[in-house]
Chains A and B, each alone.
Chain A
């Protein structure tokens, strides 16, 4: 099977997961198309929640991202989403803007990697 990850020059990559090994390449590519369609909207929703300082909405969106990324990431991205979701739900008034921005950046990297992979 071809490598399903896109490795950066420093060796770091988001897109790489063995959980979907049972998917054929065609199915995997079709799935990534869905990611490209859906995930930017989820990332935008997280961004908006952050701007509105809406912790509940941010937590719900992180919950979704945790689930979505867990299928295609071996990195700690899903785990970070999970931790941040819990933190937002349990600690009131905590400024999580920086952490959310970091997650958003990582999701964008993931989306870039997906796009690159699909072009290959």
Chain B
């Protein structure tokens, strides 16, 4: 901090005497360097708190409201500088509440001296700058510097909870880059990253500082814009689309970027975060369906599908609360030794009215609404509990492993690995007992961050498998860079391995590739002894599929199956 730099000080004070004293003291301390801005009523203060300042001195009582009522309308991260609360009350009584709203220091009016004020300002500014640096890392996407997924949902919810927000003039925009995978595949991931940065820059430049803009992950972006009426919304959307259509020059290449955008008004979604996300997502997919590179505002014609999805979201939430999910277990067999070496835990939903619902029906809704995160947590926790039970009753052989499917969204929450650590610790299990399966597509789109989390899992001894391998156009280079242990060959190839030359050739190549990288292989969807024999000849390590079970096996049925095998 430069001792001679100008200092922008915001003073929020409605009492002329208190204000005069503060201003005089600041003038004594900083002389002409102090640029003092004054707000003496609630509205003025509310607006000035969003403008840049180095420090804010704020009276606790303003008009007929308290400072907290004003501050809680803002996120502490939105405050440009630290707030020092000046109060005639005993600060101890309000300290604990104030820290939640970005208040760094509390000074009692009657005890303030110039030296105390100077020290408080210096200390608060230094601490604020430190916290800013830390917060920037925690709340922002490292590549684009936009808000990250977690922080977006937090701020989004805060807006929904704010009764002063006009739901008729606030919109959620959901943007997805068109053909991003093709850009990645054609030009490589470095260029892909530059395209993502280009999109984020265009969003930042064409939206206001007060709008919430975030990268949800991959090529998905979201923004919440306020104070926009229905007439001016198309203008805003067009402006954004045009900015994104600008050709992007990277090296010698000119890349045309486009996005599809779905828009929903807050009031259309009944101020419910999940419903709004689904509606915006639907509008975005409709926009893609209409040839991409355009936007679509959610309307009633999409409502039926939206309501159905929203209803499913609601039911999924109740399902979690009412323990309606259960796990079934698919045996994984070592082909050469003909021994069960593991089980893949698969989720099912016992719907109170519709019976057992297949995951293909509810997981996409869970994924798009974000409910996949708590559901995924439940799966990990229940699978490990079941494993622990099998272990304590000696129902499974040594080195047996349980596999769970993990959505990239779970990994992006950052606390997934913590959950695994906690569950393993609680049950006194080793990481080696768990295999995490992640889809090939997820590995590719979220490779950088996902890989970091996978490394953390590997350190625990957890093994990582790429699910549905062969469907996601993995690049070999990428494969070698990722922290994985096992490739699960997609059933599309496995099912035709006996009678289709190309499928067999591909499976052989996958197994060869895996061996080169020292990965194990599991063939999915094995249905016949002939398929198993061919896989054995090729050198595939493990197999799973209907050949090894006739029905979905519950935990106790699975134990019976192993006992039968062991017997």
Contact = CB atoms under 8 A, between A and B. Distances in A.
A83 interface: no
28 contacts: A19-B113, A20-B21, A22-B25, A27-B24, A30-B20, A30-B24, A31-B17, A31-B20, A34-B16, A34-B17, A35-B17, A39-B17, A63-B61, A63-B88, A64-B15, A66-B88, A67-B17, A67-B18, A67-B109, A67-B110, A68-B15, A68-B18, A70-B109, A70-B110, A71-B17, A71-B21, A71-B110, A78-B110
Contacts of A19: 110, 113
Prevailing SS type, chain B contact patch: helix
A35 B110 CA distance: 16
Q: Say which size band chain B's interface belongs to.
A: 10 to 19
A22 B28 contact: yes
Given A22-B28, A70-B109, 11 more contacts: A19-B110, A22-B113, A31-B24, A34-B20, A35-B17, A37-B16, A38-B16, A67-B18, A68-B15, A70-B110, A71-B17
Contacts of A70: 109-110
B114 interface: yes
Interface string A40-82: 0000000000000000000000011011101100000010000
Interface string B74-116: 0000000000000010000000000000000000011001100
A67 B88 CA distance: 6
A19 B111 CA distance: 8
B110 A68 contact: no
A37 B20 CA distance: 12
A66 B61 CA distance: 13
B478 to A, nearest CB: 65
Contacts of A38: 15-17
A35 B20 CA distance: 10
A68 B15 CA distance: 9
Interface string A70-99: 110000001000000000000000000000
Interface of B: 15-18, 20-21, 24-25, 28, 61, 88, 109-110, 113-114
Contacts of B21: 20, 31, 71
Contacts of B20: 30-31, 34
A119 B32 CA distance: 30
Prevailing SS type, chain A contact patch: helix
Interface residues of A, number: 20
Interface of A: 19-20, 22-23, 27, 30-31, 34-35, 37-39, 63-64, 66-68, 70-71, 78
A39 B21 CA distance: 14
A112 B114 CA distance: 28
Contacts of B16: 34, 37-38
A34 B20 CA distance: 8
Nearest to B88: A67
A70 B21 CA distance: 12
Nearest to A31: B20
Given A19-B110, A22-B113, A78-B110, A67 B24 contact: no
B534 to A, nearest CB: 86
Q: A-B pairs with the 5 shortest C-beta distances?
A: A70-B110, A67-B88, A34-B20, A68-B17, A38-B16
A78 B111 CA distance: 13
A35 B19 CA distance: 11
**Which of A35, A38, A66, A78 has the most chain B CB within a 10 Å cutoff?**
A38
A39 B17 CA distance: 9
B114 A22 contact: yes
Nearest to B16: A38
Contacts of A78: 110
Nearest to B21: A71
A34 B114 CA distance: 20
A31 B21 CA distance: 7
**Which of B16, B17, B20 has the most chain A CB within a 10 Å cutoff?**
B17
A67 to B, nearest CB: 5
A72 B307 CA distance: 66
Contacts of A39: 17
Nearest to A78: B110
A9 B462 CA distance: 88
Contacts of A71: 17, 21, 110
Nearest to B114: A22
Contact of A23 (B15, B17, B24, B88): B24
Contacts of B114: 22
A38 B16 CA distance: 7
Contacts of A68: 15, 17-18
Nearest to B112: A19
Contacts of B113: 19, 22
A66 B18 CA distance: 11
A38 B18 CA distance: 11
B227 to A, nearest CB: 33
Contacts of B109: 67, 70
Nearest to A85: B88
Contacts of B15: 38, 64, 67-68
Contacts of B18: 67-68
Contacts of B24: 23, 27, 30-31
